[in-house]
Amino acid sequence: MSLDDAATKPHDRLARQFAPKMEAVNALIRARMASEHAPRIPEVTAHLVEAGGKRLRPMLTLAAAAICGYEGDHDERLAATVEFIHTATLLHDDVVDESGQRRGRPTANLLWDNKSSVLVGDYLFSRSFQLMVETGSLRVLDILANASATIAEGEVLQLTASRDIATTEATYLQVVRGKTAALFSAATEVGGVIAGASDEVTGALYDYGDALGIAFQIADDLLDFQGDSAKTGKNVGDDFRERKLTLPLIKAIAKADETERAFWRRTIEKGAQGEGDLDHAIALLHKHRALEETLADAQGWAARAQAALAKLPAHPVRDMLGDLSDYVVARVS
Amino acid sequence: MSLDDAATKPHDRLARQFAPKMEAVNALIRARMASEHAPRIPEVTAHLVEAGGKRLRPMLTLAAAAICGYEGDHDERLAATVEFIHTATLLHDDVVDESGQRRGRPTANLLWDNKSSVLVGDYLFSRSFQLMVETGSLRVLDILANASATIAEGEVLQLTASRDIATTEATYLQVVRGKTAALFSAATEVGGVIAGASDEVTGALYDYGDALGIAFQIADDLLDFQGDSAKTGKNVGDDFRERKLTLPLIKAIAKADETERAFWRRTIEKGAQGEGDLDHAIALLHKHRALEETLADAQGWAARAQAALAKLPAHPVRDMLGDLSDYVVARVS
């Protein structure tokens, strides 16, 4: 690793490594989001696809295929598939969350309407299945159909568990597997499948994606309480104000005395928040070492991601994936 | 055909013919709409699936497979698939249309919320792909992925074209292909594909489903202006009040003079409807023979459905499908 490389974020190194392939993936995304009959579709999609997301999920697919020595171009189709599924879920999420902003821009449901977001999401989801079919692999279809079901199931679970201070860590993990880890693990697994890798290798790729996704989401929860809004684009306490039961809260609530439980019931369940409540919430998180324990959990998942990588063939891209799982947690340590 | 059979609606004869298989399809639907982690999912789905829809689409799949001599059970998986896609689109449609009633019962978006309808629709859509994957047929997946994309595209087109009195018959047909015919034609085509039928036969099955779906939708548009609400469950003029540009209106508007155009602009584009407007609209439809011409179009599509059937092997079920396409139009003649 050169000094220059050492100073670069792992995500940027992956982007550099796969620049030509990502060009092809982006061209495929643009071509397939077109619609002969309904110009509203590419308008809505372009707003989101061109918004400069990090394209982490498609790169994971390309990385997994590369580690397994794949030399064809089905990895590009699968990378576009994964990004389409991701974009479709973002469109539907913004309707469900009644969001007005994503990545610092107004959401599609605000610019157009909820109807367009629902239907264009459905269109992208169908398009993603068409792309998968083109790879000719039933196993790929099976993996991504399962991932899609897990995503929807996780979102419904989140809906019904939201603002319920009895939410357990097990339910939290189930939700996180749905909303984040299911697509990460499918993205890495299909990269190995398309390369014809052994079950041991595709299993390790699944484990890596799953653990990375969970570490990523837990770190995101932590950032909400200790992040620098200039860097993260989030304001400290957004999740608290939106009454989201993230892992630090669940840990603090599990150790709460009666007075503290009354505080959480008022602020999270009833949503009656006033001045000083965010500071008091953060003080309670510190009192019960909830942020430290949450960080330890994230580190544990990053370590599991590393352990999974050890089962893969040695490859420079494998090392980049290792750096990535370290980085996800290091940014909050 | 016995006298008893002659007196029975073709749909009921199909239901009797496929009663044991439909039992299996219904069992599959119940099993696959379960969710280990999110009990909200089967609640919402059961509300719709148990609401006693006619199950026409899954029966079309079973009928197509039977005509082609199929003897396995993948037709049941595909029939359940088709019903899941249909149910998912109904859930999303009710959100898009902001509907409060379907089949005489409150809609899921009213009983629960829009969020649940969006996410449970996504879940059913994912489940439908899992069922398809189990058939092991990439061609089936291709056909149903294409149909799903056409459905979403048609819905978006309907959204952007709605209430625009410049809507042409070509746009109308495109919308109808999306909202109705795409799933009918996919339902019949995959029945043939799973039976290993020739391209000529699967092509004829596609054509039958396509023409039946279009005839069905046009007849539905006609019923809105001349139906008996006790039989149809719709009130005369519902589409007019909802400012839908159905085929009779498009035909009347195409022949409208300036005064009439001003009427349509006021009632459909601006939605400023008052007492006597529905009667005046119906008078204009009669003046321009729009209902007669719409009926002739429906009959034309029913004839195309019959012509497609002639390319299929002789089979008692083929005759039922012929009666069905006649019936769809006869109920409005």
- pLDDT digit string, tens, across residues B311-321: 999 999 999 99
Domain B8-330 belongs to what topology?
Farnesyl Diphosphate Synthase (1.10.600)
Q: Which residues contact A110 (CB under 8 A, 6 or more apart)?
A: A99, A100, A101
Give contacts of A 1-20 with B, CB under 8 A: none
CA distance A150 to chain B (A): 8
Cβ–Cβ under 8 Å, residues A172 and A297? no
Residue burial A258-271, b: 16+ Cβ < 10 Å; e: rest: eebeebbeebbeee
Q: Which of A193-207, A277-291, B84-98 is the least confident region?
A: B84-98
Domain A9-330 is found in CATH 1.10.600.10: yes
Q: Tell me the C-alpha distance between A250 and A217, whole Å.
A: 15
CB contact under 8 A, A155 and B125: no
B96 touches chain A (CB under 8 A): yes
> Could you tell me the pLDDT band of residue B45, with boundaries at 50, 70 and 90?
confident
Residue B102, SS3 per DSSP: strand
Q: Is the pLDDT of residue A310 over 80?
A: yes
- Cα B38 off chain centre by: 29
Residue B1, SS3 per DSSP: coil
Most confident range (mean pLDDT) of A84-88, A116-120, B36-40, B198-202 is B198-202
CA distance A251 to chain B (A): 21
Q: Tell me the C-alpha distance between A200 and B165, whole Å.
A: 60
CA distance A158 to chain B (A): 9
A148 touches chain B (CB under 8 A): yes
Mean pLDDT of B221-234: 73
> Could you tell me the pLDDT band of residue B35, with boundaries at 50, 70 and 90?
confident
CA distance B91 to chain A (A): 11
Tell me the two tokens of residue A149. 């079901």
Bridge partners of B106? Answer: B101
Chain B contacts of A123, Cβ < 8 Å?
Answer: 149, 152-153, 156
DSSP A276: T
Cβ–Cβ under 8 Å, residues B266 and B272? yes
Q: Tell me the C-alpha distance between B147 and B89, whole Å.
A: 12
Mean pLDDT of A13-23: 94
Tell me the two tokens of residue B317. 């079920």
CB contact under 8 A, A159 and B130: no
Q: Is the pLDDT of residue B2 over 70?
A: no
Q: Which residues contact B276 (CB under 8 A, 6 or more apart)?
A: none
> Could you tell me the pLDDT band of residue A1, with boundaries at 50, 70 and 90?
very low
Q: Is the pLDDT of residue B1 over 80?
A: no
Give me the percent of chain B exceeding a pLDDT of 70: 89
Residue A105, SS3 per DSSP: strand
* Nearest Cα residue in chain A from B41: A156
The amino acid at B252: A
The pairing of beta strand B101-102 with beta strand B105-106: antiparallel
Chain A contacts of B115, Cβ < 8 Å?
Answer: 95-96, 159
> Could you tell me the pLDDT band of residue A3, with boundaries at 50, 70 and 90?
very low
Q: Tell me the C-alpha distance between B168 and B149, whole Å.
A: 22
**CA-CA distances (angstroms) from residue B128 to A38, A238, B145?**
25, 36, 10
Give contacts of A 74-93 with B, CB under 8 A: 89, 92
Give contacts of B 157-196 with A, CB under 8 A: 157, 159-160, 174
Residue A162, SS3 per DSSP: coil
Residue spans per domain, chain B:
8-330
Q: Which of A39-43, A137-141, B199-203 is the least confident region?
A: A39-43
| Better-scored residue on pLDDT, A49 or A279 | A279
CA distance B326 to chain A (A): 31
Give contacts of A 266-325 with B, CB under 8 A: none
A120 touches chain B (CB under 8 A): yes
B138 touches chain A (CB under 8 A): yes
Q: Tell me the C-alpha distance between A276 and A270, whole Å.
A: 17
